[in-house]
Chains A and B, each alone.
Chain A
Amino acid sequence: MMSSLRRIVIMAEMHGRDLTRRHAAIALLVALPLSFYFASMGSGATAVLAGGVGMSFSVSGATLFSILSSSEVDQRLVLGGYSPLELLLGRLLFLGPFGLMIAVSFSVLMALISHPARPLVLGLGVAVVALQSVPFGLAVGAALPRELEGTLVLIGVIGLQLSANPKSFIARILPFHSPRQIIASSLDAQGAIAAPLLQTAIYGLALLVVARVFVARRVDVRRHQSIS
């Protein structure tokens, strides 16, 4: 148990080192939701929704890249003693708090500029977007292990989430529908929070299971029978 925990922490540390050395990528990660937000400033509440949900581009993009950029190494790490689950949890351990950090700063900025009715709920909604983005990026990266396909799915899903009517069926089945509801409820002080939170948690867990299944298939190492 302790050694497994140590492996997860080391993986988180190494992904942290890798990502924090990508200065241009980090600048873009921060700039992307900001640009969504500021570009929609004239449209009232839409700006907060676009910025909040648009943050998923940043975090899930970083997650997708982290899983795809290490595809050659992952199987060798499993051969060396890691389990596929430890590789996933290591990424989750770094990218979750990393996404939350961006979410908190971004929420503070939006709260100061847009004055939502419930600023704390706005922070919660954006944080939930950030957290949901990690399993989403992991699932896409694990299921589609090529950069182009993965990126296109990411753009497609989040683009649809931003543009589709929130009451439509397609919007409801997408992964950021419930976080979007929380952000929306921060603007007009209406709407439930607990139900969307629970739905997001269930959706996030399902995405993690998908990621786990595909990663295990991709990096599986056959343990040979021992010569007795």
Chain B
Amino acid sequence: MVDLLVVSQVAKRFGRTTILEDVDLAVAAGEVVALTGENGAGKSTLMQICAGLIRAESGDVRVGGRIGYCPQSPGLFELLTADDHLVMFGCGAGISRADSLSRGHEVLAEFGFPMDDRAVTRDLSGGTRQKLNLALALLTDPSILLLDEPYQGFDRGTYVNFWDHCERWRNEGKAVVVVTHMLAELERVDRVIELPAHPSRSRHGSGR
């Protein structure tokens, strides 16, 4: 299978603290990779570098398609509804208002989002907001999915459903990276990559 995400020798420091050092990672189309590690190991930082949100000190990231990024905490407009968010994010990718709503509703319904709820995001529960957060990452049908603990606040049913979706995305040929601490579900992924905690990190992040 062809690689859709290739990370080569990526290093990142915040001040004097080395967060990532010489990290290599390659994720192929139709592959689900779990990224694990202790708190502060740099999992979220690596995801942000892959998404292009922060710059690495050195190294290189190459991608083979559109990226869908779901951050750990849903950064949303507090006084906009789910529909408002769908229209706004869809427009960025050149999707019409009607298509954004139709595609977005489809994804939201799959995760059990209360579709009749016209509440602004401030009034939604943490899990429901996270469902919207995930839907926004999926809205443009990206070929690379970077999901940073996307199931936070999900109820049990939605959580199981999420891992079922990972299998579906694999079958659709997407490259999926999921940051997770849920070791029980690691059997459902193709590969587990553990980032070592700094400062001992050296060449352990290698994916293959």
A interface list, Cβ under 8 A from B: 3, 6-7, 10-11, 14, 17-18, 21-22, 69-70, 72-73, 75-77, 79-82, 221-227
Q: Which residues of B contact A77 (CB under 8 A)?
A: 88-89, 92
Which of B63, B77, B80 sits near A226, CB closer than 8 Å? B63
The answer to whether A79 touches B77, judged by C-beta atoms less than 8 angstroms apart, is no
Q: Which residues of A contact B63 (CB under 8 A)?
A: 224-227
Q: Which residues of B contact A7 (CB under 8 A)?
A: 91-92
4 new A-B contacts, CB < 8 A, other than A18-B78, A79-B52, are A11-B88, A69-B77, A222-B53, A224-B61
- Is B15's beta carbon under 8 Å from chain A? no
Binary contact readout B2-13 vs A (1 if CB under 8 angstroms, 0 otherwise) = 111010000000
Residue on B nearest A14 in the bound complex, by CB: B88
Docked CA distance A139–B155 (Å): 42
Docked CA distance A17–B80 (Å): 7
**7 A–B contacts from the bound complex (CB under 8 Å):** A3-B94, A72-B73, A79-B51, A79-B67, A221-B52, A222-B55, A224-B61
Tally of contacts, chain A with chain B, CB under 8 A: 81
The answer to whether B3 touches A17, judged by C-beta atoms less than 8 angstroms apart, is no
The answer to whether B52 touches A225, judged by C-beta atoms less than 8 angstroms apart, is no
Q: Which residues of A contact B140 (CB under 8 A)?
A: 80
The answer to whether B69 touches A79, judged by C-beta atoms less than 8 angstroms apart, is yes
The answer to whether B84 touches A14, judged by C-beta atoms less than 8 angstroms apart, is yes
The answer to whether A80 touches B92, judged by C-beta atoms less than 8 angstroms apart, is yes
Docked CA distance A17–B110 (Å): 27
- Is B149's beta carbon under 8 Å from chain A? no
Residue on B nearest A3 in the bound complex, by CB: B94
Residue on B nearest A8 in the bound complex, by CB: B91
Max chain A C-beta neighbours (<10 A), residue from B53, B64, B120? B53
- Is B157's beta carbon under 8 Å from chain A? no
Min CB–CB distance A11 → chain B (angstroms): 7
Docked CA distance A35–B5 (Å): 58
Interface pairs A-B: 6 shortest CB-CB:
A72-B75, A81-B92, A80-B92, A222-B52, A227-B64, A21-B79
- Is B19's beta carbon under 8 Å from chain A? no
Which of B53, B67, B75, B79 sits near A17, CB closer than 8 Å? B79
- Is B93's beta carbon under 8 Å from chain A? yes
Docked CA distance A161–B16 (Å): 42
- Is B20's beta carbon under 8 Å from chain A? no
Q: Which residues of A contact B87 (CB under 8 A)?
A: 10, 14
Q: Which residues of A contact B4 (CB under 8 A)?
A: 227
The answer to whether B62 touches A224, judged by C-beta atoms less than 8 angstroms apart, is yes
The answer to whether A14 touches B94, judged by C-beta atoms less than 8 angstroms apart, is no
Docked CA distance A77–B137 (Å): 11
Min CB–CB distance A109 → chain B (angstroms): 28
Residue on A nearest B89 in the bound complex, by CB: A80
- Is B104's beta carbon under 8 Å from chain A? no
Residue on B nearest A75 in the bound complex, by CB: B53
Q: Which residues of B contact A14 (CB under 8 A)?
A: 77, 80, 84, 87-88
Binary contact readout B40-55 vs A (1 if CB under 8 angstroms, 0 otherwise) = 0000000000011101
Q: Which residues of A contact B120 (CB under 8 A)?
A: 21
Binary contact readout B72-109 vs A (1 if CB under 8 angstroms, 0 otherwise) = 01011111100010011101111000000000000000
Docked CA distance A202–B27 (Å): 51
The answer to whether B6 touches A69, judged by C-beta atoms less than 8 angstroms apart, is no
Docked CA distance A227–B79 (Å): 39
Docked CA distance A6–B6 (Å): 34
Residue on B nearest A22 in the bound complex, by CB: B79
Q: Which residues of B contact A22 (CB under 8 A)?
A: 79
Docked CA distance A80–B104 (Å): 15
Docked CA distance A69–B78 (Å): 8
